Structure 1
């Protein structure tokens, strides 16, 4: 195999610590409409595209709003939370800049485009990525490989020449299904399932340990 030629970052859970924010906002929204999460709602939604999770809340959970209305309502609340305080993960900006000195970078996120652009601008990373993609811009969200395949294609590289940095079960599965070398950065509160973690060629507990040299050794 050839060496790693580019790195594709996830956003939520890797650069910003927002899984808890997403859960808080969506649970409150569902409760306001007299409903509650299904037992598997939180795990199912991690990695889903905007269209997928809004349809789940609309149709499966039954909040009584259309998927488009659900998406607009929830995204508006998330944007306000980001504007109030952006929850950057310690070491994330430095890790992006460090790897960007050696590799072209892409971003493959389940967040909506409006949130991706806001986060990158606020974090001072708008210039760090050659490619940024939301799963709302491809056919299927994670764990389907679509967003990672599209990121590699836009970088002009084969998926096997790219490494993915992921935290969630569905994200790890998506990157592995696309054929990227997988780096797992497990989130303490929302750890990936053992079978998903086993797909990673490298597991790092701290972003300070995510260096160009360890990425290069993946292939």
Structure 2
């Protein structure tokens, strides 16, 4: 499917509403302050439900260093917006790659006498094949290296499953140390993501969550630095890879989010950036908007079932807001229905 041309003013998307199929929407999206207008509409319209954001108490997550809200099926949300973290909230894939290579160098890893180094091209393959850092390393040594595990600087080569697991754990811990330092120096939010979060958080009909495959140590650093503690305190749910025993592309993390938010999978819209994330969302029965980037631009997202794909949520000539992603159904309940406006083009 040809989704966008380089200079196109048209986005093709797959309908997530009651009428399936593809449609082309040529209505421009004005880069006006939508969030302010949206809040005015909400203020003028009476709306209440038990468990709204203003009536729920905030609690600290027992899993993370970030604050989160305890939610239940009684929260009363008619829909939910769920964000991935790496590649969606912040373009961190290159930062992860650099941190892994620093960890490999720290331990002096070699295979057949050659240093273990993940190139940009190879890491693009990894991130679209395997979810989570530890599974990526296992995949690399077991599959790419044909089952030959590396030798460390001190001559140690893990043979048993226990030794391999310990090496992976040590590598991941050191990688996280390097990653935290890099994040502090260079990480910034992807265009439009914080604005969309704020608009969703202001709407009492929408449950809002973050579901990341990243381990909590590195994940906490990113979300605290980029999303910020005050905004995070308003989220209904924050889950990291440590909270589930199966990583993306397994849909477990999204199934858990659906249950905790009390919103049916078909009524949850996921924002992802990779094939691994897309498959996890679709496996949970959730429509998915893909905000791709230079590492994932060539992936067949639409062919795999993405509802729509864009290079970012905001650019000079367009801005994707809540009313581009959701609309009331016949009963007046807000549900996912993607209708993207004109203005976005492919970033080759």
- TM-score, structure 1 length as denominator? 0.86
C-alpha offsets along residues 8-51 of structure 1, whole Å, 9 cap, x if unaligned?
10011111111111122223433542224498554234552244
Query: Per the alignment, do residues 40 and 120 of structure 1 end up closer, same or farther by CA in structure 2, a change over 3 Å counting?
Result: closer
Q: 2:275 aligns with which of 169, 183, 186?
A: 169
Give the structure with higher Rg (CA): 2
**Partner secondary structure for residue 206 of structure 1:** coil
The answer to whether the aligner puts 1:43 opposite 2:144 as a matched pair is no
Q: Is the 8 A contact 2:86 2:92 kept in 1?
A: yes
**Partner secondary structure for residue 139 of structure 1:** coil
Q: 1:27 aligns with which of 93, 101, 109?
A: 101
Q: Is the 8 A contact 1:138 1:146 kept in 2?
A: yes
Indicate the structure with greater strand content: 2
Indicate the structure with greater helix content: 1
User: Over aligned residues, Cα RMSD in angstroms?
Assistant: 2.7
C-alpha offsets along residues 45-100 of structure 1, whole Å, 9 cap, x if unaligned?
45522442343456555344611101101111111111223232122211211222
Shift of 1:181: 1.2
C-alpha offsets along residues 139-160 of structure 1, whole Å, 9 cap, x if unaligned?
2111111111111111122211
Q: Which residue of 1 aligns with 2:331?
A: none
The answer to whether the aligner puts 1:143 opposite 2:269 as a matched pair is no
Q: Is the 8 A contact 1:169 1:196 kept in 2?
A: no
Q: Bigger relative contact order, structure 1 or 2, given CA contacts below 8 A and separation 6+?
A: 2
Instruction: Give me the whole-angstrom Cα distance separating, in 2, the residues matched to 1:122 and 1:37.
Output: 26
Instruction: Give me the whole-angstrom Cα distance separating, in 2, the residues matched to 1:160 and 1:171.
Output: 16
Q: Which residue of 1 aligns with 2:138?
A: 55
Q: Is the 8 A contact 2:101 2:117 kept in 1?
A: yes
Shift of 1:195: 4.8
- TM-score, structure 2 length as denominator? 0.56
C-alpha offsets along residues 167-215 of structure 1, whole Å, 9 cap, x if unaligned?
1111111101111111111113332521566411122333133311121
> Which sections of structure 1, spanning at least 5 residues, go unmatched?
none
Q: Is the 8 A contact 2:95 2:183 kept in 1?
A: no
Instruction: Give me the whole-angstrom Cα distance separating, in 1, the residues matched to 2:220 and 2:122.
Output: 29
Instruction: Give me the whole-angstrom Cα distance separating, in 2, the residues matched to 1:119 and 1:41.
Output: 20
Aligned residue pairs: how many? 219
C-alpha offsets along residues 88-136 of structure 1, whole Å, 9 cap, x if unaligned?
2122211211222222211111111122222222222322421111123
Q: 1:96 aligns with which of 197, 206, 222?
A: 197
Query: Per the alignment, do residues 115 and 35 of structure 1 end up closer, same or farther by CA in structure 2, a change over 3 Å counting?
Result: closer
Query: Per the alignment, do residues 197 and 136 of structure 1 end up closer, same or farther by CA in structure 2, a change over 3 Å counting?
Result: farther
